[in-house]
A and B are shown apart, each in its own frame.
Chain A
Amino acid sequence: MLGWLSQVVAVTWLGIRTIGLRLGSSAVAVVGIAAVAAVFVGVLSMAEGFRMTIEGTGDPENAVVLRTGADSEMTSILLGDQVKVVADAPGIARAATGPLASPELFVQVDLLKRTTNTTANVPLRGVMPEAFLVRRHVRLVEGRRFEPGRNEIVVGRAAAGQYRNLTVGSMLKLSENRWQIVGVFDGGGTVADSELWCDVRVLAPAYRRGNSFQSVHVRLESPQAFDRFKDALTTDPRLNVKVMRERDYYAEQATQVTGLITNIGFVIAGLMGVGAVFAAVNSMYSSVATRAREIATLRALGFRSGPVVVSVLIESMLLAVAGGIVGGLMAFVGLNGYQTSTINWQSFSQVAFAFAVTPALLVRGIVYAIVIGLVGGLLPAIRAARQPVVVALREL
Chain B
Amino acid sequence: MKFLPLIWHNLMRRKIRTIFTLLSILVAFVLYGYLAALSAGFSAGVDVADADRLVLIHKVSLIQLLPISYGPRIAQTEGVVDVCHFTFFGGIYQKKQSNFFMQMPVVPECLFKLYPEFVLPDAQKKAWLADRTGAIVGRATANRFGWKVDDRVPLQATIWQQRDRQTTWTFTIDGIYDGAKKGVDTTQFFFHYDYFDEARWFGQGMVGWYVIRVDHPERAADVAKRLDAMFANSPEETKTTAEKAFAQAFLNQIGDIGLIIRSILAVVFFVLLFVAGNTMAQSVRERTNELAVLKTLGFTNPGVLALVLAESCCLAVVGGGLGLALVTLLTRAGDPTGGLIPGFILRARDVLVGVGLTLALGIVAGVFPALRATRLRIADALRRS
B-binding residues in A (CB < 8 A)? 24-25, 28, 31-32, 35, 39, 42-43, 46, 68-72, 74-75, 77, 107-110, 113, 116, 118-121, 174-176, 207-208, 240, 252, 255-256, 259-261, 263-264, 267-268, 271-272, 274-276, 278-279, 281-282, 285-286, 340-343, 345-346, 348, 350, 379
Question: Are B100 and A264 closer than 8 Å at their CB atoms?
Answer: no
Given contacts A39-B264, A110-B61, A272-B268, contact A340 B253 (CB under 8 A): no
Given contacts A107-B63, A272-B272, contact A340 B27 (CB under 8 A): no
A31-B271, A279-B279, A343-B254 given; name 5 further pairs at CB < 8 Å.
Answer: A24-B282, A28-B274, A110-B239, A278-B20, A282-B17
Interface residues as binary, B182-213 with A (CB distance below 8 Å gives 1, 0 otherwise): 00000000000000000000000000000000
* CA A310 to CA B219, docked complex, whole Å: 74
Top 3 closest A-B pairs, CB basis?
A75-B158, A278-B24, A108-B61
When C-beta atoms are compared, the residue in chain A nearest to B160 turns out to be: A75
Question: Are B158 and A118 closer than 8 Å at their CB atoms?
Answer: no
Q: Which of the residues A70, A174, A343 comes within 8 Å of B253, measured between beta carbons?
A: A343
22 CB-based A-B contacts, threshold 8 Å: A28-B275, A31-B274, A31-B275, A32-B271, A42-B264, A43-B261, A46-B260, A69-B158, A75-B158, A118-B252, A120-B249, A121-B253, A174-B60, A175-B59, A208-B235, A240-B165, A256-B97, A256-B340, A276-B275, A282-B279, A341-B255, A350-B253
When C-beta atoms are compared, the residue in chain B nearest to A379 turns out to be: B16
Interface residues as binary, B335-349 with A (CB distance below 8 Å gives 1, 0 otherwise): 011101000000000
Question: Are B253 and A120 closer than 8 Å at their CB atoms?
Answer: yes
Question: Are A32 and B248 closer than 8 Å at their CB atoms?
Answer: no
Q: Is B30's CB within 8 Å of the partner chain A?
A: yes
Q: Which of the residues B257, B336, B340 comes within 8 Å of A267, measured between beta carbons?
A: B336
Number of chain B interface residues as a range? 35 or more
Question: Are B61 and A275 closer than 8 Å at their CB atoms?
Answer: no
Question: Are A342 and B253 closer than 8 Å at their CB atoms?
Answer: yes
A-binding residues in B (CB < 8 A)? 16-17, 20-21, 23-24, 27-28, 30-31, 34, 38, 59-64, 90, 92, 97-98, 100, 156-159, 161, 165, 167, 233, 235, 237, 239, 248-249, 252-257, 260-261, 264-265, 267-268, 271-272, 274-276, 278-279, 282, 336-338, 340
When C-beta atoms are compared, the residue in chain A nearest to B338 turns out to be: A263
Given contacts A109-B61, A279-B275, contact A342 B252 (CB under 8 A): no
* CA A32 to CA B28, docked complex, whole Å: 12
* CA A379 to CA B19, docked complex, whole Å: 13
Q: Shortest beta-carbon distance, A221 to chain B, in Å?
A: 31
Question: Are B27 and A346 closer than 8 Å at their CB atoms?
Answer: no
* CA A373 to CA B53, docked complex, whole Å: 54
Given contacts A35-B271, A75-B159, A275-B272, contact A252 B60 (CB under 8 A): no
Question: Are B90 and A75 closer than 8 Å at their CB atoms?
Answer: yes
Residues of B contacting A: mostly: helix
* CA A357 to CA B100, docked complex, whole Å: 29
Most buried by A among B21, B165, B248, B260: B260
* CA A119 to CA B62, docked complex, whole Å: 11
When C-beta atoms are compared, the residue in chain A nearest to B241 turns out to be: A119
* CA A275 to CA B97, docked complex, whole Å: 34
Question: Are A74 and B63 closer than 8 Å at their CB atoms?
Answer: yes
Given contacts A28-B275, A31-B274, A285-B17, contact A264 B62 (CB under 8 A): no
For B254, the chain A residues whose CB sits under 8 A away are 342-343
* CA A207 to CA B17, docked complex, whole Å: 68
Question: Are A271 and B20 closer than 8 Å at their CB atoms?
Answer: no
Question: Are B34 and A268 closer than 8 Å at their CB atoms?
Answer: yes
Question: Are A70 and B158 closer than 8 Å at their CB atoms?
Answer: yes
* CA A387 to CA B92, docked complex, whole Å: 61
Q: Shortest beta-carbon distance, B202 to chain A, in Å?
A: 8
* CA A259 to CA B337, docked complex, whole Å: 8
Given contacts A28-B278, A271-B27, contact A282 B21 (CB under 8 A): yes
* CA A267 to CA B260, docked complex, whole Å: 15
For B165, the chain A residues whose CB sits under 8 A away are 240
When C-beta atoms are compared, the residue in chain B nearest to A253 turns out to be: B97
* CA A284 to CA B260, docked complex, whole Å: 33
For A272, the chain B residues whose CB sits under 8 A away are 27, 31, 268, 272
* CA A267 to CA B365, docked complex, whole Å: 27
For B275, the chain A residues whose CB sits under 8 A away are 28, 31-32, 275-276, 278-279
* CA A267 to CA B248, docked complex, whole Å: 27
* CA A207 to CA B272, docked complex, whole Å: 54
When C-beta atoms are compared, the residue in chain A nearest to B277 turns out to be: A28
* CA A264 to CA B63, docked complex, whole Å: 29
Most buried by B among A68, A70, A264: A264
For B282, the chain A residues whose CB sits under 8 A away are 24-25, 286
Question: Are B265 and A268 closer than 8 Å at their CB atoms?
Answer: yes
For A342, the chain B residues whose CB sits under 8 A away are 253-257
* CA A274 to CA B25, docked complex, whole Å: 11
